[in-house]
Amino acid sequence: MMDTEKYLIALENFICKLQQLPDSDPEQVPEDMAVLCRALRVGKAESVIYENEGTAQQGTFATACFYDGGNSSADDCVSRRVNAADGKTAFYNMYPIKGESEWTQEERNRIDALTAVLSVLNGKSKIVRSIRYMTSHDMELGVYNIKHFMMTASMLCRSRQIFRYTAVRFNLKRFSVVNEHIGRENGTQVMIRFIGLINDVLKDENELTCRVGGDNFLTLVRTENLESVIKILSGTGVAYGEGRGERVLIKTTVGVYHVKDMGGSILPTDVMDRVSIAFKLAKDSPTTDIVYFNDEIFARIKRSNEISAAFPKALEQREFLVYYQPKVALDGRHIAGAEALCRWMHDGRMVSPGEFIPVLEQGLDICKLDFYMLDAVCRDIRKWLDSGRDVVRISVNMSRRHLTEIDLLERIIEIVDRNNVPHKYIELELTETTTDVEFKDLKNIIAGLRQAGIATAVDDFGIGYSSLNLIKELPWDVLKLDRSLLPAEGDENAAQKGVMFRYIVAMAQEMGLECVSEGAETAEQIRLLSEYKCNISQGFYFDRPLPAEEFEKRLDKSFVYER
Ligand code: C2E
Ligand code: MG
Ligand code: MG
């Protein structure tokens, strides 16, 4: 006979314990389940799940045992059938204890109620578990996802254990080519196996690899295990297919951040940001596949952040000044034009463009600066014209970042016209572009400017992917040859450079372009320019970039540079 009081206490304990579990899984409280079963004179409690209703009873898909006293009888059974949401059918079976008297009707009712409770709880815990799996895993590869990485990192940051770990961000090199060669399915298999190799060297419960997306991954590894991970990432053969010895060599581009205790608090986003910066540097580097985040990188980023933060106010307070570097016509040694170059007077010190332009170019702040510069140049030109000076054409730099602006042309013309400056006094310098999309935008802008009577120049020709073909396609007015093309004293390959220079100038001139040589510093270089028939020089030999008041003197009619 059932002892009702014992049963009620057992039931209460069972429910209390389950409530404390995040997913109320009855399999996780075996002791309480056993007490409850014994109180109900149950010898064994189990669930059997069948693949689907059609094949039910024909093949067992899975069984789960909630309790087995080792003394059950199969002669009787209270059973409950449940159709699960995933199309499977589950049976919750309770067997009596061998040799004991039959269950009373009251016992049967309670046992039946227990099967109902078990089926609901078990179903719920399965759903909770699968949701947990889905929210923490990448469903294609079955590895962790970024959300799980951030949760783990967050927990380690809070407990400050994170300082024992190193974050490694990596990309599988040329994996699209691997996919093309061996097929997408094999490619996926290779990815899973490669991550498996890395995970094999991870030992503690917080070490993990997650997929960031595509063929990009992040590993959090105890620093003492880092070397083993790096060894795999440096290049490992991975087998695929049916085991006939097919293998591919997987190499990676890697950013590493050994999380450093710098006293203050640290956030998982700091870890993510720093490892991503190291990764980006590795990706952009022509010489190395692996970059370790270090103090120097940290200082550079801090400086970048300071510049970005100070920029809006600096622009508002007109801390940016226009300096003018004359372009000199070599035949008459007179001024033939000038380039406007930006200088930043900040906190009593002059910051050079090399420091702040690359930072502003990471976002769209550079566009604000360029429009500010164009406006400032137009104001100066207007002033010079009003005071009766002979004004030369002034070139203003325009970052490639502008190319995505739909109304770029209108904005440029609006600024020039607002200042009442004849278009012939303005030239815009743009660097070459490498992508087709940019090329199209660039073409529209150059053509539009030409129509408006504003001249355009290709800046820094000779570095990067210079192509005369690209120049032929667009109606440029001026070609500015980069300083690196001009032979200098001590150059090993001065003779070849000279040949290149001469022929680029000849070809450009034949295409109707004016040629300006950047960066001539010596009399010998000026002599070479004459020899190469490049008539205009912008370089320190004649003048450095000058403050406006100094530059104005160069506009005097009587001014000529000495021979
Ligand atoms: P850039 O447009 O090619 O400008 C020419 C740079 O070469 C200037 O550097 C100039 O001072 C330098 N230079 C001229 N002659 C010589 C020489 O004989 N020897 C040497 N060693 N250097 C010479 P700066 O003023 O430091 O500007 C650097 C770059 O910053 C510019 O290169 C340009 O790309 C960018 N920049 C400057 N102002 C602006 C601006 O207002 N907007 C944008 N988007 N970029 C700007
Ligand atoms: Mg320039
Ligand atoms: Mg230049």
> H/E/C letters for each residue in 175-196?
HHHHHHHHCHHHHHHHHHHHHH
Residue 57 has pLDDT above 60, yes or no: no
Which residues, chain by chain, have CB under 5 Å from ion ligand 3? Answer: 459-460
Q: Which ligand is nearest to the CA of 395?
A: 2
Average pLDDT, the chain: 93
Q: Half-sphere exposure of 336 toward its Cβ, with a 13 Å CA cutoff?
A: 18
Alpha helix ranges (H) inside 40-158: 105-136, 146-158
Which of 322, 350, 481, 518 maximizes ligand 1 atoms within 8 Å of its Cβ, making it the mutation to test the pocket? 518
What is residue 52's predicted lDDT score, i.e. its pLDDT?
A: 67
480 alpha carbon to ligand 3 midpoint, in Å? Answer: 7
51 alpha carbon to ligand 2 midpoint, in Å? Answer: 71
**557 pLDDT tier (thresholds 50, 70, 90):** confident
Confirm or reject: Cβ of 361 under 6 Å from ligand 1. Answer: no
**212 pLDDT tier (thresholds 50, 70, 90):** very high
Which atom of ligand 1 is nearest to 541's Cα? 18
The answer to whether 535 and 331 are in contact (CB under 8 A) is yes
Which atom of ligand 1 is nearest to 482's Cα? 3
What is residue 59's predicted lDDT score, i.e. its pLDDT?
A: 65
Q: Which helix (H) or strand (E) holds 335?
A: strand 334-346
308 alpha carbon to ligand 1 midpoint, in Å? Answer: 20
Q: Which ligand is nearest to the CA of 427?
A: 2
Model pTM score: 0.72
**Six token digits for residue 510:** 């034949």
Say how far apart CA 155 and CA 555 lie, in whole Å.
66
498 alpha carbon to ligand 1 midpoint, in Å? Answer: 23
Neighbours of 418 (CB within 10 A): 11
What is residue 220's predicted lDDT score, i.e. its pLDDT?
A: 98
539 alpha carbon to ligand 1 midpoint, in Å? Answer: 10
Confirm or reject: Cβ of 69 under 6 Å from ligand 1. Answer: no
Which atom of ligand 1 is nearest to 320's Cα? 41
Which amino acid residue places its CA nearest to atom 19 of ligand 1?
Answer: 519
Which atom of ligand 1 is nearest to 361's Cα? 44
CA dihedral over 303, 304, 306, 307, signed as positive or negative: positive
Confirm or reject: Cβ of 459 under 6 Å from ligand 1. Answer: yes
* CA distances (Å), origin 315, targets 113, 270, 346: 75, 29, 11
Confirm or reject: Cβ of 270 under 6 Å from ligand 1. Answer: no
**486 pLDDT tier (thresholds 50, 70, 90):** very high
377 alpha carbon to ligand 2 midpoint, in Å? Answer: 14
What is the number of residues in the chain?
563
Residue 1 has pLDDT above 70, yes or no: no
Say how far apart CA 348 and CA 350 lie, in whole Å.
7
- pLDDT tens digits, residue range 263-299? 889 999 999 999 999 999 999 999 999 999 999 999 9
398 alpha carbon to ligand 2 midpoint, in Å? Answer: 8
